[in-house]
Amino acid sequence: KRVEESRAKMEGVEITGSGEAAPPAAAPVPAPAPTPVAAAVPAAVAPVVPSQNYTTIDKYAFDAGGYNSPTVSIYIALPNVGSIPRENVTCEFSPSSFDLIVRDLGGKSYRLVNDNLENDIVPEKSKILVKADKIVIKLGKKKTEYGGHDHWSQLTAKKDKKKKAADAANPAAGIMDLMKEMYDSGDDNMKRMIGETMQKQREGKLGADGGMGGDLGGMGDMGL
C-alpha cells in the first residue's frame, strides 16, 4: 500500500482510505469575460445652417450730400440689426457697384446690390455703419478734374451704363437705339420717316437713291 501511495503521489493521484484512487479533481471553470459596455454618446446636435435665400431690400433713403461732400449715403432700416454678430453684415465695393448682405437676422437674410450707380465710386473710401436698427452705407465720391466731387442726383443711373459702354464700342447699335427713342416719342409723320429710314438701313439701301421711300415692314425686330 505504501508503494501505491508513493506512486500515486508521483503521478498526482489521490488515494482514498479504501485504497482506491480518487477521481481527478475537475478543472476550474474560467470566469466569463466582462461584457464591454459602450460609452455613452451624447445626442447629435443639428448644425446651424445659415439661410441661403436673400430677401431683397427695396426700401431705403438716399442722401447725395452737398457739392463738397466726399460721400453719398444710403440709409436702410432693419430693426435689431445691431444685435447680430458684426461679421454677419458685409458689403463689397467695386468702382461701379456695392453688394450689401445681412445674414441671419430674425431667421432671414437680406441683400441690397446695385451695379448701375449713377457715378463710379472709390471703394477704399466706402464703408458701412451698423446701428441698433439701421445700416448706413457710405459711398466714396470720385473727385473731378477741378478738385471737387462728382455730382449725384440719384443712386441708380437712368440708363444702363454697361449698355452705354457697349453702344460706345458699337456706334451703329447706339444710333439704332437713338432712332427707336425718337420713334417712340415722335408724331405719326416722324414715325413714318424713321421707319422708312431704318428699313432702308437694314436693306443696305440707305442713301442709294437719296429718298426716304419704303414702308414700316421689318420693324418688328425693334418692337415698333
What percentage of residues in the chain have a pLDDT greater than 70? 61
DSSP 1: -
The CA distance from 99 to 112, in Å, is 6
Q: What is the pLDDT of residues 81-113, one digit of tens each?
A: 999 999 999 999 999 999 999 999 999 999 999
Q: Show the cell assigned to 31.
A: 470566469
Lowest mean pLDDT among 25-39, 99-113, 131-145, 176-190: 25-39
Would the pLDDT of 49 be above 60?
no
As a whole number, mean pLDDT of residues 214-224 equals 46
Q: How far apart are CA 202 and CA 182, in angstroms?
A: 18
Residue 43 has pLDDT above 60, yes or no: no
The per-residue pLDDT for range 146-197, each reduced to its tens digit, is 888 999 999 999 887 555 555 556 666 666 777 777 777 778 888 888 778 7
Phi, psi of 202 (to 5 degrees): -70, -30
Q: Looking at residues 57-78, what average pLDDT do you find?
A: 94
> How much is the pLDDT for 194?
79
What is the C-alpha separation between 153 and 65, in angstroms, rounded?
9
Q: Are 100 and 121 in contact (CB under 8 A)?
A: no
pLDDT for res 216: 42
Q: Where is pLDDT greater, at 106 or 46? A: 106
Q: State the average pLDDT for the chain.
A: 77
Label residue 68 by pLDDT band (50, 70, 90): confident
pLDDT at residue 44 greater than cutoff 70: no
Alpha helices in 16-55 (DSSP H): none
- Beta bridge partners, 73, equal 63, 138
> What pLDDT was estimated at residue 211?
47
